[in-house]
Amino acid sequence: MVKSNKKRSKSLNPVEWTGRMKGIPCFILGNAPSINDMNLSLLDDYFTIGINRIFYEYDPTVLIWQDLALWIGEKKRVKKSKAIKYCREGSETRGGFYTFKLQGREPKLTPTPKTLYGRGSSGSITYQFARSLHCDPIILVGMDCAKGKVDGKKITDFYGNNSMHRAHTLPNCVKGLKFIRDNQKGITLYNCSYTNVFPERLTIEEVIAKLPDKKYSREKLERILIKGLESD
C-alpha cells in the first residue's frame, strides 16, 4: 500500500472571535421542513449561521456542524460552500477549519466560541456560539423541532428524511429550544419557527422590518469576524 504524503492541515482556533459581532443581528438557520416556506434570499445582507445541511437551500455566512457523518457524506458540498466552516473537533478529516470543543451533557452559555456545551441539540450549541459573538438580536429560523409534510408524506427535514433521525432527536431538539427560551437575558430574541416553545412567531419579513437599515456583504461580515475589523 502506498501511503499518502499529504498532511492534514492544522485546525483553526476561533477564540479571537469572542464579541466580534457585537450588536449585529444574527439569523440562525435550522433544517426544519418550514424552511421550504421561507424566502431565505431576504437574508443575503445579514449575518447568518446555518446548521448542518442548510447548504442544500442556502449558503450562510458561517456553517456549523458537529457530526463526522455529515462531513463524510457531504464533504464535496461543504467544501463548495462559501461559508466559514466551524465544526466540532473530530467532525472532519481535512483540517483547516475553525473548530470548537464540545463538553458536558447539558447546555450552558459560554464566554468563548472555542468551547460549547451540551449534547443532542445543534440548535442550542449554535445559540451559544451566537451569544459568544455578542450578536443582537438573534433570530431563530427553521428550528421547529417537529416533522412536516410534502405531498402528504411526513419528512424530518426540509430536504426530506434525515437518515440520522432517531426517537430522541425531536425531544432533544425541544430541550434545546427551551434552553434558548430560558437564556435570552441581555439580548433580543425573535422566533420565526413553527414551535410552541416561544409565545410568538414572526415572519422573516416582520423581523427585518424591526432591524436597523444597515446591511452587510458576505465579505464585510468575514472581515469583521475573522480579522476583527470594526463593523462601522
Q: What is the pLDDT of residues 55-100, one digit of tens each?
A: 999 999 999 999 999 999 999 999 999 999 999 999 999 999 999 9
Q: If you search the block for the grid coordinates 457530526, which residue do you land on?
A: 67
- Name the residue range of residue 179's domain: 15-226
Count how many domains the chain has. Answer: 1
Amino acid code (one letter) for 138? I
Does 204 reside within a domain?
Answer: yes
Is residue 231 in a domain? no
Residue 86 lies in a domain: yes
pLDDT at residue number 232: 60
CA dihedral 90, 95, 97, 99 (to 10 degrees): 30
9, part of any domain: no
Residue 39, number of CB atoms within 10 A of its CB = 9
Residue 211 lies in a domain: yes
179-217, pLDDT tens digit by residue? 999 999 999 999 999 999 999 999 999 999 999 999 999
Q: Answer whether 84's CB lies under 8 Å from 227's CB.
A: no
Q: What is the tens place of the pLDDT at every residue in 10-68?
A: 999 999 999 999 999 999 999 999 999 999 999 999 999 999 999 999 999 999 999 99
Domain for residue 93, yes or no?
yes
Strand 153-155 to strand 148-150: parallel, antiparallel, or no bridges (unpaired)? Answer: antiparallel
Q: Is residue 232 part of a domain?
A: no
| Nearest C-alpha neighbor of 195 from the set 208, 215, 207, 180 | 180
Residue 4's pLDDT is what? Answer: 47
| Residue at 4 is within a domain | no
**Stated pTM of the model:** 0.95
